[in-house]
Amino acid sequence: MKLSDMKADENGRIASLGDDRHFLNRITAIGLTEGTVFQIVRNDKKMPVLIYARETLLALNRPDADRIEIEVIG
């Protein structure tokens, strides 16, 4: 499942970030790595996806959220 497909208040874990080196550099710089646990705060269409991870609120643009594979937990 893609991060952009989740609904508000769902919890997940990052399963895969792909292999695009530029994307990996950007996304890991903000603290998102494989295995990171997060909660979706807000996911409205045509708006950035807001997630809470590592005690930080992050806004991810939709194309980036589409590239992140996750597994739903709890």
Q: What is the pTM of this model?
A: 0.92
pLDDT given at position 74:
77
Do residues 43 and 49 make contact, with C-beta atoms less than 8 angstroms apart? yes
- Of 5, 3, 16, nearest to 58 by C-alpha is 3
Tens digits of pLDDT across the chain (74 residues): 999 999 999 999 999 999 999 999 999 999 999 999 999 999 999 999 999 999 999 999 999 999 999 999 97
- At 14, list the tokens: 């990052």
Which residue stretches of the chain are H helix?
Answer: 21-29, 62-67
CATH for 3-73 (3.30.70.1400, 2.60.40.1840, 2.30.30.90, 3.40.50.970):
2.30.30.90
pLDDT given at position 10:
98
